[in-house]
Every structure is written in C-alpha cells, then in structure tokens.
Chain A
Amino acid sequence: MTARADEHESLRAEVREWIGRNHPGDPGWKLPQSALEVADDRQFGWLRDWQRKLYDAGWVGSEWPSEYGGGGKPRGTQRIVDQELARGRAPFLLNLVGLSWAGPVILRYGTEAQKRRFIRPLLRCDEIWCQGFSEPGAGSDLASLRTRAVRAGSDWLIDGHKVWTTLGRYADWCILLARTDESAVKHAGISYFLAPMKVAGVEVQPLVKMTGEGGFNQVIWSDARIPGDALIGREGQGWEIAMATLQFERGAAEGSAGGQFVGGPGEQVADLARLARSFERDGRPALADPVVRDRLTQFWIEETALRANAARARVPGLVADRPEALPLQSKLASSEHGQALADFACELEGAGAALWIGDPNAPANAEWQRSYLNSFATTIAGGTSEILRNILGERVLGLPKTR
C-alpha cells in the first residue's frame, strides 16, 4: 500500500469511529429526507446542531482554506468523509446551498473581504443560504429572468419574484440573479448578488410540494434595499457565475464542503433487497420471483456503473476522448436511476404503497413513496433532465443547437 492509501485508510477509520460515537440517532419524530423539506423549527434546530457538531470536529469544509474557516486538509479528504457519512447513515447536512453552491462560488469569484465574511458562518451553519435563480417565467430558460436590480445611491434595489427557494424561510443570505442592464442582450445584462434576506421588502411565502410537505418557498422582492458590496464578480458577469454554480449543483465540478452523499450508490440496492425479503408476491417472498430478481440485479448493475463512473472520472487517460462527458452526465444519470429505483420499491410494496404517512400499516411509514415523489426534485432542479440532454448532445456529441 502506498503512503497515501495508508493515510486514506487511517482517515476513514477515524471518521467511522467518530460517527459511531457521535451519530445523533433517531430523534423519535419525522426527519426531512433532504434540505428541500425542512418545514419546522424543531427539524431545523436539530439539523443545524448536527452540522455544527460535524464542523467543530473538522468534517465539514475539510479541504477549504483554513484562513477562511476551512480545514485546509489535502484533496480527497472530503470524499472519504462523505462516503463514511453515507455508510454510517448519518443525517444530511442542512446548509446545502451554502456548502455546495454559494461557498464554492464565493471561494472562486469572491473578494477577500467576501471570503472572510461568509465562509466560516456558512460552514458552521451559523448563517443559512438559499438560491434565487428560478422565476415563474424563467425555469429551463433561466436567462429570460426578469428580477431587476437598480442602483439607488451606493445600494441596490431588488424587485422580482423567485421560486423553488429551498430553505428560504430560514435563510440569512441568498445567491441571487437579477438583471442590471435592460438594454443588454439576454445573458449579458445579468448580475450575481450575495443578498441579505432579513431586510425590508423580502417576503417568503411557503410552497407546498406534492408530498404535502412545506420547506421550499417563493420569495417576493419588493424594492428591497441591499448594499452595494452585495455584488459578486463584475456587473454583467452574473450568467458566467450562474453557470459555474450549476456545475457545482450538478456535481459536475468538485468543491463542495461536504454532505453530498444522499443516495450513495450501493446503499439503495441493499435497501431494495431488504424490502424484497419482507414482501410477498403471489403468495411467496418477492425475492423468489425471477422477474423481481432480474429487476433488482439491473439496478445493482446500474448503481455499480455509476460508482465506476466516479472512479473513472479520476483517471485522466480514460476520459481523454470526451473529458466533459462524465461530469456533465453525472446528475442526469444518478437522478434518473434513483427515481426508477424508488418507483420499483413502491411497486414491490404492492397495495401497501397506497398507504401514506400516518397510517399504521404504511410500509416503513411511506418512506419509499415519499422518496419517489421527492425524487422529481432531482430530475428537475439544477437543470431538468431534458435540458441536460441538450447540453450533453451539444457540448459532448457536437450536435447543432436545439432552438
């Protein structure tokens, strides 16, 4: 074993041991499945405390520069930490938008002052972040957004309507896209702001997901005044920074501070196999049904292929022909796989899948149905599967643009 592999193994053991000692266990009430449906203060507080504890132990932002609050550890550390968190079935990290999108963007495009101001509180969950990109009229066609930012002395006045705002209710800050130049062509007139949420003129209204849960929101900005230094990058550079943000969001660019382990490959198929053991079909265990066995095996192969993709993405010689293919398809492939798998789980549950949370006979308190419904967030947010197929076709296969 090389010295580096040795170090990795001892780190892995250390993280595993730490999780074993510090896993908060089951709180005894319903936890959200992801940051998208944090709906009440009890859930919020519990999850904030968990992230803070992890940060204080050095397992959040472990590779980020120490002068801003990161751990300053070598590359590869966070991946091992995240793998162990997934393996240990640890709760997810609450400050998703901060850790995985806003933080990496600030580190890449922010001024020294912005880095010093924002990184540590974001890692420690002292300040919560949300994202203000999508609008009712600007979803897949994001560049048609209409929210405006107008100069008012040294400040900006923001006016517009944003939707799909995860954690909006709890957020202190928002990565916000707004049009600063009405006369410029579509993409060129957009700027990117690190906007405070707790100011006059910002109204957060809950949206209810098809699961019946709250947790994501729409935000109405009515001449909300934010300071001049809320701009990140140059005026008009917003589209470029937004595209970089989406690369982080899709997992196409490395740089997350951690917690990117929801639905880690391998765990899901094992869960599915357990499910097949506990259900009957036509009077015998589902696991005895050859069709069920074949479907399960197909999911296992796909999951292994997704994991092998991650391993191959780290080998430059094996991605030389199409360097962009693996990063650009990663969210697309894993979200569609996860969705198909959750759907199959519901099918396996048979009539039980008709029972919803709260019914004593709902299998696993309807976790799989909830997962399946929630999985559409992954195939829609951060670029729909349809938009991602356009991007892959054009950027990787060299096909002409769809118009």
Chain B
Amino acid sequence: MNAPIRYDEEHALLRSEARRWLEERFPIARVRALAESDTGEDPADWKELAALGWLGLCVPEKFGGAGLGAVHLSVLMEETGRRLLPCPLLASTLAALALAQSGSESQREQWLRPLVAGELRVALATATEAVWGGERADAFVARLGDRFALVPARAAGARVEREVVLDRTRRSARLTLDGVEPESGAFLPASAQEVLTRLTPWACVALAAEMAGGADALLALTSAYAATREQFGKPIGSFQAVKHPLVNVLIGVEGLRSLVYAAATALDAGDPDAETLARMAKAKACDVYVFAASRAVQLHGGFGFTLDCDAHLYLKRAQTTRPAFGDAMHQRRWLAEKLLGPAP
C-alpha cells in the first residue's frame, strides 16, 4: 500500500469547477431553506446536475456517461459534502454504479441513458440501508431476497412513504414491496451478494469522500469562529483548550483525505488492496466526521447549541451517514479478518 496517489489536472479542474458552482448555487441560506421545504429539494437543481454531467460521472460513455473513475467521484463527493448538497446525487450515483457494474447489457441500455440525462430518477434500496432520494424516485434498484431487481415506483404492490428524518438536507423513504413480482428481465443477472461485493468499495469511497468534505467545512467554520469570537478579552482560538482540539480535527481530516485518495487510486487501478483501503477510509470517515461535528457544536459554545448555528446541520449529516454501507465498527470487524484471520 505504498503506491503513489493519482491526481492530475483533470481532477483539479473538476474540483475547481464543482467548488465554484456549488458555492454559488448552494449558499448555506438556500440549503437551510430547502431543508425546511416540503420535499427538501428543487427540481431545477436536478436539471443542472444532469447538464453538468455529474449524474453520469462514472457511467460508461457508451451509455451516455462520462466514464470517469473513483478519483473523479471522490473529488465531486468531497465538494458536495462541503456544501451539504440537498439533492440525492449520491443516491443516484450508487444506483447508477450498481447498474453499470452488475446490470445486463439491455438493462444498462434501457436505464442508464435516461438516468444520466436526469429524465429518470433511480434510487438504491438494499433492504438494510436508508433509501435516500426514495420519495421522488421513478424506480428502484431494489433487493428482493437474494437478487436485485429494477422496480418502478408505480409497480403494483410497491409503496413509498416519506420518512421523518434527523438530517433534513438528505431525505429518505420507506419502500415496501408487498407481493411485487418483477418480470424475469427486471432482475440483475448477478446475485445480490455479488452486486454488493462490487458496489461496496465504491460506496465506501464515495461516502468517505463526502464525509471528508463535510469535516473539512466544519474545520473552516469552527476555526473562523474561534479566531473572532472573544471572551476574557481575547479571541477564544488563542486558548489552547480550543486550539488543540481543532488541531486534532485537522490531523483527523488530513489522514482521512489521504486514505480516500489512496483508496480511490487503488480502485481505479484495480489494485487488490482497494477494498481494504476503501473500508479503512469509511471507518476513519465515521470517526473523524462525528468528532469534527461534535467539536464544532461544543466550541461554538452557547450559540453552537442553537438552530441558528450551522454546526448542527453537519452534525446531523455525520450521524446519519455513519451507518451507510457499514459504520466504523462494522468496517473494522471486516478489516480485522483481513489482517488477523477469521474471528474465532
């Protein structure tokens, strides 16, 4: 795991483009307004994401996508995580990845083009994870027993109910499939286990990248506050009791970003260590993001406890992203088997 990290001008270009666009389009006031809105999102944003080509970032070119890899995906996720993007881009990306990796040729032809164009919204329903973006999805890549199938939201027996969520910048739905019987062509050819085995490292890297972006944004938010907020006649950031925990957050974020890009490089290279690195990144992301968010609330003091302070928006995002595709404990149990052999 000493391989160089791949990152070139193309990646840097995507980052600066994404950062600029997201900053302009999603100032925190708008994120808050959308979080308070009924559906949590604005359909105009989805059209823009399609126009930017981001819905198909990792979809092969022959199906209308950009055909880019995990490093590009990490860049985009890191930047969206910074702004708490209130659109189910990650949900759509996971569904697209599952289809691109494990769908039949005809399934990919039929579903990926409209997904990439933003005409058809698809969400992933693994039966154990939250179904992000489920309420407004047109279809689901949904687990039914030991297979995944493409299930239209309006299929007979499919019921989609809005969930009441902690993090209102990321909405989810409860999908109930009662007596839904997809035709045989709707089933992904691989077993559910195979689908998840292919998808999990990518999902871990995408999630860890998004979490790294959020933690990094918190570091900037809290540092700026500590540099200006005064008590005892001095900026609180001059006190070591405030400064040192912020540096601990910094060290965590730096290590996390390194793991994310090492894992993404390994995924793109087909490196056999890729899944190990991806799971390490996700494990670290859970710890670092929650720590960064808890320090943000704490170091904002009395203001940090209020709805007016932005810290809680990230804290809720951190808490609710943690379980996706396995929290730190889950990842470490998997990693322990890899390092130490099977648990007795």
Interface residues of B in 291-344 (CB under 8 A from A): 329, 332-333, 335-336, 339-341, 343-344
> For residue A305, which residue of chain B has the nearest CB?
B255
Q: A308-B259, A318-B257, A333-B255 are in contact. Are A301 and B332 (CB under 8 A)?
A: yes
Q: A301-B280, A305-B284 are in contact. Are A317 and B11 (CB under 8 A)?
A: yes
Q: A311-B5, A317-B11, A400-B237 are in contact. Are A393 and B246 (CB under 8 A)?
A: yes
B254 within 8 A of partner (CB)? yes
B146 within 8 A of partner (CB)? no
| A378 to B3 alpha-carbon distance, docked (Å) | 27
**What residues of chain A lie closer than 8 Å to B242, measured between beta carbons?**
399
**What residues of chain B lie closer than 8 Å to A317, measured between beta carbons?**
7-9, 11-12, 15
Contact A318 B5 (CB under 8 A): yes
Contact A393 B237 (CB under 8 A): yes
Interface core residue of A288, A312, A321 (most chain B CB under 10 Å) = A312
Interface core residue of A83, A296, A315, A320 (most chain B CB under 10 Å) = A315
Contact A390 B243 (CB under 8 A): yes
Give the size range of B's interface with the partner: 35 or more
Contact B3 A329 (CB under 8 A): no
| A296 to B261 alpha-carbon distance, docked (Å) | 23
Q: A315-B5, A390-B240 are in contact. Are A304 and B336 (CB under 8 A)?
A: no
A75 within 8 A of partner (CB)? no
Contact B255 A309 (CB under 8 A): yes
Interface residues of A in 384-403 (CB under 8 A from B): 386, 389-390, 392-394, 396-403
**What residues of chain A lie closer than 8 Å to B250, measured between beta carbons?**
325, 329, 392, 396-397
**What residues of chain A lie closer than 8 Å to B223, measured between beta carbons?**
397-399
Interface residues of B in 238-275 (CB under 8 A from A): 238-240, 242-244, 246-248, 250-251, 254-259, 261-262
A67 within 8 A of partner (CB)? no
B4 within 8 A of partner (CB)? yes
| A315 to B4 alpha-carbon distance, docked (Å) | 9
> For residue B262, which residue of chain A has the nearest CB?
A308
One of B4, B11, B240 near A402 (C-beta < 8 A): B240
B27 within 8 A of partner (CB)? no
**What residues of chain A lie closer than 8 Å to B262, measured between beta carbons?**
304, 308, 311-312
| A312 to B281 alpha-carbon distance, docked (Å) | 14
One of A300, A309, A333 near B335 (C-beta < 8 A): A300
**What residues of chain B lie closer than 8 Å to A402, measured between beta carbons?**
238-240, 243
Tell me the number of A-to-B contacts counted with CB atoms below 8 Å: 154
A362 within 8 A of partner (CB)? no
A278 within 8 A of partner (CB)? no
**What residues of chain B lie closer than 8 Å to A267, measured between beta carbons?**
none
Chain B nearest CB: distance from A326 CB in Å? 6
Contact B257 A312 (CB under 8 A): yes
A66 within 8 A of partner (CB)? no
B2 within 8 A of partner (CB)? yes
B226 within 8 A of partner (CB)? yes
Chain A nearest CB: distance from B37 CB in Å? 32
**What residues of chain B lie closer than 8 Å to A273, measured between beta carbons?**
339-340
Contact A401 B238 (CB under 8 A): yes
Chain B nearest CB: distance from A286 CB in Å? 10
Contact B246 A397 (CB under 8 A): yes
| A318 to B261 alpha-carbon distance, docked (Å) | 9
> For residue B235, which residue of chain A has the nearest CB?
A400
B1 within 8 A of partner (CB)? yes
Chain B nearest CB: distance from A291 CB in Å? 11
**What residues of chain A lie closer than 8 Å to B234, measured between beta carbons?**
400
A28 within 8 A of partner (CB)? no
**What residues of chain B lie closer than 8 Å to A321, measured between beta carbons?**
216
B227 within 8 A of partner (CB)? yes
Contact A304 B254 (CB under 8 A): no
B283 within 8 A of partner (CB)? yes
Contact B258 A297 (CB under 8 A): no
Chain A nearest CB: distance from B118 CB in Å? 29
Q: A293-B343, A301-B332, A402-B240 are in contact. Are A397 and B247 (CB under 8 A)?
A: yes
Contact A308 B5 (CB under 8 A): yes
| A293 to B4 alpha-carbon distance, docked (Å) | 29
Contact A304 B246 (CB under 8 A): no
Contact A329 B251 (CB under 8 A): yes
**B 219-230 to A, binary, CB cutoff 8 A, 1 in contact else 0:** 100011011000
Q: A304-B277, A304-B280, A311-B2 are in contact. Are A293 and B340 (CB under 8 A)?
A: yes
**What residues of chain A lie closer than 8 Å to B216, measured between beta carbons?**
321
**What residues of chain B lie closer than 8 Å to A305, measured between beta carbons?**
255-256, 258-259, 280, 284
| A3 to B291 alpha-carbon distance, docked (Å) | 44
**What residues of chain A lie closer than 8 Å to B284, measured between beta carbons?**
301, 305
Chain A nearest CB: distance from B156 CB in Å? 46
Q: A314-B4, A397-B246 are in contact. Are A309 and B332 (CB under 8 A)?
A: no
One of A296, A322, A398 near B227 (C-beta < 8 A): A398
| A296 to B338 alpha-carbon distance, docked (Å) | 12
| A315 to B219 alpha-carbon distance, docked (Å) | 22
Contact A290 B257 (CB under 8 A): no
Contact A403 B238 (CB under 8 A): yes
**What residues of chain A lie closer than 8 Å to B8, measured between beta carbons?**
317
A149 within 8 A of partner (CB)? no
Interface residues of B in 117-141 (CB under 8 A from A): none
Chain B nearest CB: distance from A250 CB in Å? 14
Contact A312 B5 (CB under 8 A): yes
| A329 to B254 alpha-carbon distance, docked (Å) | 9
One of A294, A298, A311 near B3 (C-beta < 8 A): A311
Chain B nearest CB: distance from A148 CB in Å? 32
Contact A399 B226 (CB under 8 A): yes
Selected A-B contacts with CB under 8 Å, 27 pairs: A269-B339, A284-B344, A304-B259, A305-B256, A305-B259, A305-B284, A306-B255, A308-B255, A308-B261, A311-B3, A311-B4, A311-B5, A312-B258, A315-B7, A315-B261, A317-B12, A326-B254, A329-B254, A390-B243, A393-B237, A393-B244, A393-B247, A397-B223, A399-B223, A399-B226, A399-B246, A402-B238
| Given A302-B255, A304-B277, A392-B250, 10 new contacts (CB under 8 A) | A273-B339, A276-B340, A301-B280, A301-B332, A305-B280, A311-B3, A317-B7, A333-B255, A397-B246, A400-B235
The 7 closest A-B pairs by CB, nearest first: A308-B258, A305-B255, A399-B237, A393-B243, A308-B262, A400-B238, A293-B336
